[in-house]
Amino acid sequence: MPANKTKRFLLALVFSLLCFVPVTARAEAEGVVRYGVTPADLQDDFFENSNDGSQSYNEQGYRPARLTGYVDNGNVRYFTRWVQNTSGIDWRGRFGKTLAEFNAHNADYRQQGFYLVDVSGYQTSGGMRYAGLWYRNTGNVNWLTYPDLTLAQMQTLADTIGQNGWRPHRIEAYAIGGQSRFISVWYHQPGVGAYWHSKLTAAQYQDKFNDYSALGYAPVHVDSHTVGGQVFFSAIWRDANTSYRVRTNREVRVFQRYYNNNWADGYNIDNFYAAETPAGVRFGGIWYFDAPVVANDNSPLSTQVRKAVDGAPALAGAAVLNLTTGYSYSIHGNQTFAIASTSKIGILYALLREIDSGNVAWTEFVNSNTSTGSNQCSYLQPNTEYRVDQLAGFMIRCSNNWATNVLIQRVGRATINQRLDNLGLNVTRIHRYMSGGPSDHGNASANADRAEGWENVSTPNEMVKLLRRVLQDNVLSNAGEARFWATMQLDSNTFPNDKAYIASQVTPMFSPRINVYNKGGSLSSPAQSRHVRADAARLRFPDGQEVLMAVFMDYISDDPDNLDESTNAAMSQAEQAIQDAAKAVANKFHD
């Protein structure tokens, strides 16, 4: 249906049907994708020299492919993607600019021979701000920019230039004074089939998405803004023969889960947004199929570990550090995860540090009192005296919560956390007693604390750091360090250690065996709570290599849109993902 013969309108929305000419849509390599970036970090980590002496992504040969601004709790943040600049494209980028500043840069770069490839408008406490990316116009792209237009003016563009070979490349929306405003970029592309809308409700967006998908059109751009408490969408579709996935209006954990799983399935993100809504910041994105992610024994270890982690039905992360060779890799290594009983590693460290300081004795007796937690392996009896070393062994070898809670009471949760903080761990914390124990936050129990959101947490990188510091930095006395590793190697039966999840995978793999010192964690609580699998380990190889690793599975769920719901199948898959990562590490470094 030629555009010069037919115009269509829907509820005063910008809408145009153009001729059907296929457009190839395929994402570039994933590159570096980050959201929640502060203006300072955007400048430091991406555009300019890094303050910590490392190279920015610009200096490492990356170019920006997407840059969109948003506000989170009053703070300006950026969502950005940078790809390797293999073709040596000359580019310019600006952010945090007023409209006058943006227009000046836009005119200046046009005069210098650049064209606008990305744009974003976002309302801040200091007023409207704009960001833009420009590439050297070696392809003689004919382009136009229209900033700060009303919906009626956008309709006029569709009725005029939209019927004369111009197609929108970006339509970004924002609110000023309770009214929608738009900044758009248009390219002269006669013969390119496209649909676009500047302002759709969620229901209208879904209807149009379904209609255009049925016609063979793929989304190439999506944005969102809020007016009068209602969320609206701007979107562009083009005639394309490609496999794609789209998610919009997702909170950050759900969006991250989709991002991870899509990557594992071979889809790279191409276009995305973040927007402030009445329900908080929400994210959306478009992924195109690039190629299957192959992860076998011949793949790089990083690929194998990431495939296991990002392909899991969970929000997950991992870190690996070979202290002998210096190899290191992490995926989502600085993200915070609930780690269930893997947190008992930190409790063990703090206990031994208190023993070194003379505040607790390894052989002193502590009364178990009445039950203060789950009694795994039935080790404890009520109102019975147990030595501290026995309680520590029960805590690690069979993950006995009762013994753990007795030790938390003996040492003090504040003291444990202070010891972790002194070790240089900023996130790793004990926020509650173990399941079955008392409340430390004025609730009925530790389970009630958990339902309220109190979790024992860490990051993969911090857990590896804890193990490294114990092994290398003399943070415990010689006796304390020996006790730490001897306790970590215990299991519920006898030596060798085959505790779930890492040890059970690695210990039987080779002869002579790899010695494993680990502590797994598991939480499968009621639906309102987070389902967790976690493990952290020291692997000592027969040739003397020392490798540390941590793998965390949080919010285990069949359905990324409902992170509180899970099945036994999802739990098993998350456990298998930890084992797959451990297997990859063992195979990589075993001689």
3-state secondary structure of 215: coil
pLDDT tens figures, 412-456 = 999 999 999 999 999 999 999 999 999 999 999 999 999 899 999
Those residues whose C-beta lies under 8 Å from the C-beta of residue 520, and which sit 6 or more positions away, are: 341, 342, 399, 499, 500, 501, 502, 503, 533, 534, 535, 578
Cα 315 to its chain centre, rounded Å, is 7
Q: What's the Rg (C-alpha) of the chain?
A: 28
Q: Can you point out the beta strands (E) in 108-209?
A: 114-124, 127-136, 143-149, 166-176, 179-188, 194-200
The pLDDT value given to residue 11? 31
CA atoms in the 13 A half-sphere facing the CB of 58: 16
Determine the angle formed by the axes of helices 344-356 and 478-488, rounding to 10 degrees: 160
Statement: the pTM of the whole predicted model exceeds 0.85: yes
Those residues whose C-beta lies under 8 Å from the C-beta of residue 38, and which sit 6 or more positions away, are: 75, 76, 77, 78
3-state secondary structure of 565: coil
Task: Match 């430390």 to its residue by tokens.
Answer: 440
pLDDT tens figures, 212-221 = 999 999 999 9
Sign of CA dihedral 144, 150, 156, 162: positive
User: Tokens at residue 522, please?
Assistant: 């598991």
User: Tokens at residue 125, please?
Assistant: 């406490």
The pLDDT value given to residue 371? 79
Q: How many CB atoms lie within 10 A of CB 47?
A: 16
The pLDDT value given to residue 25? 46
The pLDDT value given to residue 494? 73
pLDDT tens figures, 360-384 = 999 999 999 987 889 999 999 999 9
The pLDDT value given to residue 119? 98
The pLDDT value given to residue 526? 63
Q: How far apart are CA 255 and CA 278, in angstroms?
A: 17
Element (H, E) at 486: helix 478-488
The pLDDT value given to residue 78? 98
Cα 76 to its chain centre, rounded Å, is 19
Average pLDDT by consecutive 10-residue portion of the chain (591 residues)? 28 34 53 97 88 83 97 97 96 98 98 98 96 97 98 98 97 97 97 96 98 95 97 96 95 98 97 97 96 91 98 98 98 98 98 98 96 90 97 96 97 98 98 95 93 95 98 98 97 87 96 96 77 97 97 96 90 97 97 76
Average pLDDT of the chain, as a whole number: 93
Element (H, E) at 422: helix 413-422
